[in-house]
Structure 1
């Protein structure tokens, strides 16, 4: 455990505001050490938090949080913020079941005014807080901290454009941690930022505007524009000025002597939106993080002294890696295949594609809407775009999926990673809804891989499909250890498969819960409940013949999926009703993720809580078959036998064999 005498005395930001500038520097060092030690125990997002330690200290020192509103974009950099805001005693429960969230969360603390785990929302939310403050006649500052990566999303600029037009008092901190906007900064730029953010300059600027107005509107416009462009040329702020923000920076985000005076000036400035450009280093202060390409963006448990992460050897390749390798093989055979991702090349496994086929790979930044419509344009010209996007991130592009792809019947391929529950990242990243939100769209083909071998064939299926949009979903984590086929073979669209035959219970699985279904069937057989297990493979189009067969020849039919209510199970129920198969004697149960957001925990515990493991499936099957067993006994006493699917539900015993 690090030695942290100053940090030990911080119960809330109010304690922080009593410290001297020299003490703030020591506190920042202690806060960084505490963050490193805590994440070494829990794993999580490390690099981004280390980059904003000084900024976090400065903001809580200068602003009266929580009365002043502080919004962190995404929230994965907010671990130091959590430590300073009364949650230090729980910081080593980060991302654990019942512990602190890995992101900001309203239910967790009054210091988290807005929950976030998806990027580029902070300025829009901040503007909402600022407008609400003014409508209520309240006071206080609103500060939104957004990273330069998040500025690749159009939503950030939409918010800035609106904020600039409204002219509300709003402070945006642009945390530039990748040198993507500005060159390295030093004393000169810090002095310039301090000067331009001061009351003297702001007052002179306002007086100058009043003077030029008296000289005529045209002259006023020309002089004001010339002054602002000159300032923008020196500071790099022209773009933000044009959006209506007063730009200050760049300044060194690790130098409290530079940071605090500028933020104090900005805090005390007159009304209007201001953007402060702060340059930081991701992974700052921890040598192993500084030395890696991703600056330890996300880590598992690690040794603080060496930085060595405790990754257990995988028994099988991850689904993401299988997808990546399968797509590479398809691309080698077909030069029309194009790979697209939205700022997640390594997360989706497309970094390997980028190295192999750089001219056919496109990372469009945090811009899922653009990614989908960009793919639609490629498809119009006969190319084969593959959009690899996490399930929860694809939600951001829903209108484009509907209007630009599905409506035009364009063969865009969607590779939906992180489908199902994701564990420590919690509800914000759980891929629960894609089957439901895509399945309602006409002409969409939906597939879910049951295992890594199946995924290889589904990648080939998607690449070969040219008759409209198609999506394949697969989970986070490793496969089950099956041997992978050398070549993917396109599957017959809308055709499932039966893996084991039984007579009483039918389990129809969609996705990687298939292993749990097979385990449940073994136990049910041992209990005298002969069980069929089928893999639907497709949620759309459904294998109606398979569903009809399962419904007509079993007492109970159970569907199992790692998706929300309104997905695969709902489609099966609709098909059964359509075909008139809700007959006497047939019991049906759809097992889905619960109709609520599940907090973080291990994937195994989350699936158990959701009722999607073998224990739950066995319990459901036995519960369904007990009433059927009683009815069978009653029917036998009357000289009849239950036959599910038969028009009357029963037939004389001597006819049962036929």
Structure 2
């Protein structure tokens, strides 16, 4: 039997549904989200929490004319299902499928590409100002979670939006704060009352009248506003948002469709800045997600009936886990070590540290910029801060890394998790730019381990340095190598030669070392003997070892970073600086584009960065060079010899 969702091809169809049908639709949306995420993984709990809110938004407003901007996008699955993508929803987060985040190229209903936190209000202000400049008439709505409200960007945008007082609706999706039933009911009543068109217009008329009364009008208005604010503050947290210049409404029950519809219909008539505070429950409708919303915030495939997460690659410990255990171990030996993260204690492996060193662990919320400058302050006072962030999120604190840490040569260690491709979250989360954006910063030591054992030693190395260091490692499990019990700092700027060959050399960094060795073994069977070097350090380079390998006349650089400005570029710069000519260099890495979503192994194979692809690229590079009249080789192909001026 066909359900209501089966008949929905565009959100405007929701306007014809009855209240009972809308509630049935909510159940069907939840079922489809749970079923798909059980197979593909995904952001289950956030999306289940906003099903009724999504229905109400699309029922009351007219997307895509009205702009709905989702913050982060973790909660946009119901939105995707209601906006013409239900037939492809089973491809969610897979190679060639639909994205797990809103994407403008995917649908006109996706107003803005998102994936990183706290951006929605800023974008919404841009949409509202653009609308007014074009003299158009549509609503702009932004949906932001309470977690994203810990980001400074959100408050910068609130400040600007309140000053402009444009027609903008900010919906605060609050799934963490609690409120008692009685207070919640009273707040609902107050909010529904103050959003009625009559009360809203009467309030504006009264304010205008009092502003015009000579001598006493402004004083009376101030007293009236204080009384209103005192009443709101007694029952709600509205004072903060009123101070930013927003009219505050809420909190209201985010799972009560009639209340949501009534509030949104009333707000639709407003023409100034409004913030609606909506209370929701993460994971609503799926007991395992309700019981463990943190796990189901972003989860891999799981058993639909039990909610038990299906096991991935077993055996070796994860790089994240090894980092977490190592920093905890080192903190026992050095009480100067403190650990900092930005709302990711589990994801960065710092939860064990947090439990053992409660006074030396700091989760600053979604505030990477603050995390880094906070660490700089600690380092200036003699501590050894370790800042654990995902590679793609470290981008958000680049100025602080440059200005507050490296410019002052402070001993802050950056533990950069999720370097390289991360999989199904796609281009907003791949960590394939960090070598490029970090390499240009003076005084920063940059390391990447070939395996989980080397990760331990590199963390010790970073913490022994007098200045800043960055240690980058991938998502996923290690190689299962033996783990040393005695940890020692590595010689700075020294790589290691793992294989020796006469026909050239592969210089690999980080987790590309293992596929480099496998590719070299395959090529050896063809009679091509290549050295394999584990670079270890991206900055400073092991110049002596690289130059000795360059004597073979053929070098291959291999990295899980974009080739533009990355490790291979550093090797080219070294050769140019030392006046080395007659060397053919093949740089292998990701191309000058944003890498799509897909499993890590799928993406490495697609970009020929697995062992088979590396071997194939080297075979092609060793063929005789084409005549000069032929087209130039694309990026990633051998760089022809260039005469030096």
Cα distance in structure 1, aligned partners of 2:340 and 2:498: 35
Residue 642 of structure 1: aligned partner: none
Cα distance in structure 1, aligned partners of 2:397 and 2:373: 9
Note if contact 2:73-2:101 (Cα within 8 Å) is conserved in structure 1.
Answer: yes
Cα distance in structure 2, aligned partners of 1:620 and 1:234: 66
Residue 526 of structure 1: aligned partner: 525
Cα deviation, residue 216, structure 1 = 3.8
Note if contact 1:459-1:488 (Cα within 8 Å) is conserved in structure 2.
Answer: no
Cα distance in structure 2, aligned partners of 1:183 and 1:394: 38
- Between stretches 154-163 and 612-621, larger displacement belongs to 612-621
Cα deviation, residue 555, structure 1 = 2.8
| 2:478 is the counterpart of 1:479 | yes
Number of matched residues?
Answer: 624
| 2:612 is the counterpart of 1:615 | yes
Cα distance in structure 2, aligned partners of 1:407 and 1:556: 37
Residue 255 of structure 2: aligned partner: 254
SS of alignment partner, residue 471 of structure 2:
strand
How do residues 184-199 of structure 1 correspond to structure 2 at under 5 angstroms?
186-199=184-197
Cα deviation, residue 484, structure 1 = 1.2
Of residues 582, 592, 597 in structure 1, which corresponds to 2:594?
597
Residue 513 of structure 1: aligned partner: 512
Cα deviation, residue 608, structure 1 = 2.0
How do residues 31-70 of structure 1 correspond to structure 2 at under 5 angstroms?
31-70=29-68
Cα distance in structure 2, aligned partners of 1:183 and 1:148: 18
Note if contact 1:326-1:488 (Cα within 8 Å) is conserved in structure 2.
Answer: no
Cα deviation, residue 618, structure 1 = 1.7
| 2:408 is the counterpart of 1:408 | yes
Note if contact 1:523-1:618 (Cα within 8 Å) is conserved in structure 2.
Answer: yes
Cα distance in structure 2, aligned partners of 1:602 and 1:73: 24
Note if contact 2:9-2:84 (Cα within 8 Å) is conserved in structure 1.
Answer: yes
The C-alpha deviation readout for 1:510-554, integer Å capped at 9, x for no partner, is 1101111001111111111111000110010111101111112x1
Note if contact 2:187-2:235 (Cα within 8 Å) is conserved in structure 1.
Answer: no
Note if contact 2:38-2:302 (Cα within 8 Å) is conserved in structure 1.
Answer: yes
Q: Structure 1 residues 313, 550: CA separation in 2 closer, same or farther (over 3 Å shift)?
A: closer
Cα distance in structure 1, aligned partners of 2:491 and 2:598: 37
Cα distance in structure 1, aligned partners of 2:620 and 2:101: 40
Cα distance in structure 1, aligned partners of 2:88 and 2:446: 42
Gaps of 5+ in 1: 631-644, 648-658
Cα deviation, residue 600, structure 1 = 0.6
- Between stretches 183-192 and 142-151, larger displacement belongs to 183-192
Cα deviation, residue 231, structure 1 = 2.6
Residue 421 of structure 2: aligned partner: 421
- Between stretches 34-43 and 374-383, larger displacement belongs to 34-43
SS of alignment partner, residue 592 of structure 1:
strand
Cα deviation, residue 222, structure 1 = 4.1
Of residues 169, 172, 185 in structure 2, which corresponds to 1:171?
169
Cα deviation, residue 312, structure 1 = 3.3
Cα deviation, residue 613, structure 1 = 1.9
Cα deviation, residue 391, structure 1 = 0.4
Residue 557 of structure 1: aligned partner: 555
Residue 633 of structure 1: aligned partner: none
Cα deviation, residue 187, structure 1 = 3.2
Cα deviation, residue 221, structure 1 = 3.4
Note if contact 1:97-1:601 (Cα within 8 Å) is conserved in structure 2.
Answer: yes
Residue 93 of structure 2: aligned partner: 95
The C-alpha deviation readout for 1:396-436, integer Å capped at 9, x for no partner, is 01111111011111111000000000111111100011111
- Between stretches 536-545 and 19-28, larger displacement belongs to 19-28
Cα deviation, residue 592, structure 1 = 1.8
TM-score normalised by the chain length of structure 1? 0.92
Residue 576 of structure 1: aligned partner: 575
Cα distance in structure 2, aligned partners of 1:202 and 1:4: 43
SS of alignment partner, residue 282 of structure 1:
coil
Cα distance in structure 1, aligned partners of 2:328 and 2:339: 10
Residue 78 of structure 2: aligned partner: 80
Cα distance in structure 1, aligned partners of 2:341 and 2:558: 30
How do residues 448-467 of structure 1 correspond to structure 2 at under 5 angstroms?
448-466=448-466
Residue 157 of structure 1: aligned partner: 155
Cα distance in structure 2, aligned partners of 1:108 and 1:311: 31
Cα distance in structure 1, aligned partners of 2:9 and 2:95: 24
Residue 347 of structure 2: aligned partner: 347
Residue 641 of structure 1: aligned partner: none
- Between stretches 220-229 and 105-114, larger displacement belongs to 220-229
Cα distance in structure 2, aligned partners of 1:373 and 1:386: 12
Highest Rg: 1 or 2? 1
SS of alignment partner, residue 238 of structure 1:
helix
Residue 637 of structure 1: aligned partner: none
Residue 240 of structure 2: aligned partner: 239
The C-alpha deviation readout for 1:431-462, integer Å capped at 9, x for no partner, is 01111111101100000111111111111111
Of residues 107, 110, 115 in structure 2, which corresponds to 1:109?
107
- Between stretches 375-384 and 618-627, larger displacement belongs to 618-627
The C-alpha deviation readout for 1:138-162, integer Å capped at 9, x for no partner, is 1110110000000000000100100
TM-score normalised by the chain length of structure 2? 0.94
Note if contact 2:313-2:477 (Cα within 8 Å) is conserved in structure 1.
Answer: no
SS of alignment partner, residue 627 of structure 1:
coil
SS of alignment partner, residue 401 of structure 1:
helix
